[in-house]
Structure 1
């Protein structure tokens, strides 16, 4: 990345709602194929789960784990969580349940709940670089630091006034280290710095090339800027994408809130019952 991060748009200016995109589709019966032919791919924060003041405060609403487990069973294991969170973090949130996953923006993948994750696709960030990036958290109370090893995230939901200062500080560090192999991901009240070369989209492509996902038609639901790389590859995979909270470009429809997504997933199970009925 060669752009000056100090000139990067603020979050509210990134990926504005596309007014030409379709209206919300609560339960798109005509679009989603039967579960026996489908791969279900789901972002977590802001999609399955409501955004919380801090990453550690998210919680799994009653009934969601049961819905995910039933969908996992109905799709013969072709359900995966696709997140910027680490695999360990995902498992902590959904404990004791485990699901296939693309974690860490594609740095980790797990094809089946009972399997070990594939090795991380990136080395840890340089210690000196991490030290300098971590110091940015001292700019203001409320900036939370999350070290994922292969990436580092600065959350500012509790310090929204610090957004521009965070990006300016990152820009200064990148100017001092122009050859450092890093990529900056702006998200919802978070600035994440990672190695280049892997994304949620690259992780999804790998997932869809292997069983039990191979040969199925995927649909992906996501809400954030980092999910747009997956939106973009759905046509290549003969899949569908849905956005949450905004009408993104290239999606088949959108949901207003995570609660609508949870209801939609539960209805997929009801739809299967209707199809099976004589």
Structure 2
């Protein structure tokens, strides 16, 4: 566990004076947009998707940062908006959901844009049958995508991807994309990604014109890492040193500690004025 009383600095290879810290970010909170992946970044991974939980104080931290950035904080996830809301209930944060299929610009509002088509029903049925390959494979229907979780059946990884490859070979015209993740194989329609969702988000107030600060952990976050330079933004990975990022955090504990310090320092600086 990270000690919140100590200054948490993302580990990085860039010059120390360029590394964002809670202290250096506080004066610029009205100029930045804070974008955060959920699973493996804000929240610790769990055995099943339904077992993740929000640690005490995290929602309060996010709400403080929402206020300090004038609303420019958003969750960026492969989960649907509905699923995100269930996890963080009763809070409803701005978010890009479904790997870019859904977007909500303001907390507590309805989705602002749903442009992505849902996964074809027959294709979904065929993909869902893969879960029968082994006990422990968990099927998650996200509407816009289908996820096969094998954390409880790691020996089935090769068989799952081989089965998906066979289905794709039989349907060469199907516009689908396979997203490998941490003990999960996810299949979604092609044409949208977390990066396309973030690009759309950054076109709208209160995010437009701000410098994004994105933290993510998985392969699906790499598309967002890649576009941060287009916005003069910064990206940080969690648990691994992803290619092209400005630095990394060791674990979600460190991300939460960093955000908590940023919120506390921001509050203190406001009250001292």
Q: Same fold (TM over 0.5)?
A: yes
Shift of 1:193: 0.5
Report the equivalent of 1:200: 194
Does residue 173 (structure 1) correspond to residue 167 (structure 2)? The answer is yes
> Do 1:26 and 1:260's aligned partners in 2 also have CA atoms closer than 8 Å?
no
Report the equivalent of 1:78: 72
1:184-233: per-residue Cα shift (whole Å, max 9, x none)? 01111110100111000010011111001111111000000000100011
Moved over 3 A (4+): 20-33, 273-278
Equivalent of residue 129 in structure 1, options 123, 128, 146:
123
Q: Which runs of 5+ in 1 are unaligned?
A: 1-19
Report the equivalent of 2:184: 190
Shift of 1:248: 1.2
1:251-273: per-residue Cα shift (whole Å, max 9, x none)? 12110000100000011123325
> Do 2:26 and 2:265's aligned partners in 1 also have CA atoms closer than 8 Å?
no
- TM-score, with structure 1 as normaliser: 0.88
In 1, the alpha carbon distance for the partners of 2:111 and 2:54 equals: 22
> Do 2:95 and 2:103's aligned partners in 1 also have CA atoms closer than 8 Å?
yes
> Do 2:26 and 2:266's aligned partners in 1 also have CA atoms closer than 8 Å?
no
Does residue 259 (structure 1) correspond to residue 229 (structure 2)? The answer is no
- TM-score, with structure 2 as normaliser: 0.90
Q: Number of aligned residue pairs: give it.
A: 260
SS at match of 1:76: coil
Distance 1:129 1:23, change over 3 A: farther
In 1, the alpha carbon distance for the partners of 2:216 and 2:208 equals: 21
Let me know the Cα RMSD of the aligned residues: 2.1
**1:99-248 to 2 correspondence within 5 Å?**
99-248=93-242
Shift of 1:123: 1.7
